[in-house]
């Protein structure tokens, strides 16, 4: 009997140790994590797995390289409530030397929604405002971005900075007009649940540089501070939701059309995103079952 008690106690100790070790390993693999709620009612959890520098990237090819640097960030949203969620992302700061261009090749000063209607001059997307739908083949709930700039966009001896603001939103209502390639006849009503601020900067480390350098050793990239945002989006983010992009080129030989377009996005209260109680109970049972299964797989006590 004593031996059996000792074996049971040992098995319990090993189980606890393995559970703690597994939990520590899981925490070590996560950059940051934050609960998502609506007025105190759980909606899910946002996990950022990776946030690191993209130290060197070749925009050109092996024979004609064009190097640059940037950031690498990815994560996922685990929903508790059964609702329609998306990511909205805005570029809050974008130094003048790295301004984006709309599909008609006109400049887009920051802040701007990322991506704008139809995308950029060098990267076409759809006419929906959600960042994750421009991120195929990794749609929601995956969040992934790898922004980067070439060294040529960095001011000589100075810094080029790009700052983003991203939000998990719950879709409350959507209406779509008859024109599939025009965003301005659609409307979107969403609730902002949780956001995060992030970005990067590239520095030209040379003193009094004589001109542009293609030597990667002359540059360094660093991440901007990562910050979770709760409550309401920043004024810069809100202003990005109503930006008009492009210009009227009617009568011009190229492109000869009115290229102006914009999103109509309303930020509403998250009351319509409150989860049903039954959904939370099912999620808790599922989570407990997964944790138990993982523990049994990783910790086997042998007699």
Quote the pTM value: 0.78
Split at pLDDT 50, 70, 90, the class of 136 is low
CA atoms within 13 A on the CB side of 106: 15
Residue 21 has pLDDT above 70, yes or no: no
pLDDT of residue 95: 82
Cβ-count burial 129-147 (b if 16+ within 10 Å, e if not): bbbbbbbeeeebbebbbeb
Of 55-64, 106-115, 198-207, where does mean pLDDT reach its minimum? 55-64
| Phi, psi (deg, nearest 5) at residue 15 | -60, -45
High-pLDDT (> 70) share of the chain, % = 76
Alpha-carbon separation of residue 98 from 11, 18, 237 (angstroms): 59, 49, 19
**Residues in CB range of 218: below 8 A, 6 or more apart:** 151, 204, 205, 206, 209
Residue written as tokens 């959600």?
130
Using only the alpha carbons of the chain, give its radius of gyration. 24
3 state DSSP class of 134:
helix
Kindly indicate the confidence band of residue 211, based on its pLDDT and cuts at 50, 70 and 90: confident
- Contact yes or no for 196/233 (Cβ under 8 A): no
pLDDT band (50, 70, 90) for residue 81? confident
For the cut 50, the answer to whether the pLDDT of residue 46 exceeds it is yes
Instruction: Check: CB of residue 251 under 8 Å from CB of residue 257.
Output: no
Helix axes 277-298, 2-29, angle to 10 degrees: 110
Q: Are 147 and 164 in contact (CB under 8 A)?
A: yes
Of the listed ranges 176-190, 199-213, 247-261, the least confidently predicted one is 247-261
pLDDT, tens digit (0-9, with 9 covering 90-100), for 119-135:
887 777 888 999 998 65
- Give the angle 296-302-303 at the CA atoms, nearest 5°: 140
* pLDDT interval class at 101 (50, 70, 90): confident
């Amino acid at each position: 009997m004593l031996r059996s008690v000792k074996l049971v106690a040992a098995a319990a100790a090993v189980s606890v140790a393995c559970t703690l070790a597994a939990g520590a390993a899981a925490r070590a693999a996560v950059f940051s994590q934050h609960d998502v709620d609506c007025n105190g009612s759980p909606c899910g959890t946002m996990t950022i797995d990776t946030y690191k520098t993209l130290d060197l990237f070749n925009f050109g090819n092996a024979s004609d390289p064009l190097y640059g640097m940037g950031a690498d960030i990815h994560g996922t949203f685990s929903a508790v409530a059964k609702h329609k969620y998306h990511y909205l992302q805005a570029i809050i700061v974008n130094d003048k030397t790295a301004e984006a261009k709309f599909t008609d090749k006109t400049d887009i000063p920051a802040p701007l929604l990322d991506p704008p209607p139809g995308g950029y001059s060098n990267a076409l997307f759809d006419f929906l405002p959600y960042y994750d739908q421009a991120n195929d083949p990794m749609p929601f709930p995956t969040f992934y971005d790898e922004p980067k700039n070439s060294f040529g966009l960095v001011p000589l001896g100075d810094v080029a900075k790009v700052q983003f603001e991203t939000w998990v939103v719950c879709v409350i209502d959507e209406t779509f007009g008859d024109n599939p390639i025009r965003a301005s006849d659609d409307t979107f009503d969403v609730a902002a649940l949780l956001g995060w601020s992030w970005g990067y900067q590239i520095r030209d480390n040379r003193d009094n540089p004589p001109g542009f350098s293609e030597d990667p050793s002359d540059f360094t990239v660093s991440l901007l501070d990562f910050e979770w945002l709760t409550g309401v989006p920043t004024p810069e983010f809100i202003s990005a939701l109503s930006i008009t992009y492009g210009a009227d080129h009617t009568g011009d030989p190229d492109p000869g059309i009115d290229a102006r377009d914009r999103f109509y996005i309303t930020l509403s209260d998250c009351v319509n995103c409150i989860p049903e109680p039954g959904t939370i109970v099912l999620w808790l049972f599922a989570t407990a079952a997964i944790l138990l299964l993982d523990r049994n797989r990783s910790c086997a006590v042998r007699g």
